[in-house]
Structure 1
């Protein structure tokens, strides 16, 4: 059975699907990290640059297909669409309080 999304992860996914970069960045902790296949982007400025080039800047859409949760980690399987990568991906979100500390993307 698919678990429910936690609030920080839902907030981040909603912002991405709305192509709202400011809300997307606000979902992360101050020292938040995006790990995109081993390439790490730390902090709002680096995450914004990555997102402008490869995520929200490509009008990303994320259709959640499955959610599993274990402690402070939520794994989301999503169908990715937009003008960049299209296909299935797994996103692991690690929370810290009410924000995302780390978003890891893998196939």
Structure 2
């Protein structure tokens, strides 16, 4: 992993998932967040909660942070995670756009 410090919201995203803490997970996002999981789009914290139930904490996902790099714009990070659990399993990038210390946008795709 490189020398970029992992932003607090990204740490919360990973740690809340690994603890199975759906409330802390949703709280890491802005109220108007956008989540795009390979073209499946979710809006706001309620959308994030719906995704979390079906694709994350709800399927006992566990994340291992492999790498973090700066994204193309300020406050954007490309985070490579290894995912295990009872849903999707594998390693790949997630692009986080932060605003005011929270996740405003999350895109899961190559």
What TM-score range do you get, normalising by the shorter chain?
over 0.9
Aligned to 2:29: 28
TM-score normalised over the length of structure 2:
0.90
Cα distance, 1:104 vs structure 2: 0.9
Find the aligned partners of 1:101 and 1:65 in 2 and give their Cα distance: 22
Find the aligned partners of 1:34 and 1:63 in 2 and give their Cα distance: 20
Aligned to 2:108: 105
Aligned to 2:86: 83
Find the aligned partners of 2:17 and 2:34 in 1 and give their Cα distance: 16
Q: What do the CA deviations read for 1:32-78 (whole angstroms, capped 9, x no partner)? A: 11110011100122221121011110111110111102421011111
3-state SS of paired residue (1:25): helix
Find the aligned partners of 2:54 and 2:79 in 1 and give their Cα distance: 22
Matched residue count: 107
Find the aligned partners of 1:50 and 1:8 in 2 and give their Cα distance: 17
Pairs within 5 Å for 1:1-107: 2=2, 3-70=4-71, 71-107=74-110
**Any stretches of 5+ residues in structure 1 without a counterpart?**
none
TM-score normalised over the length of structure 1:
0.92
Find the aligned partners of 2:102 and 2:81 in 1 and give their Cα distance: 20
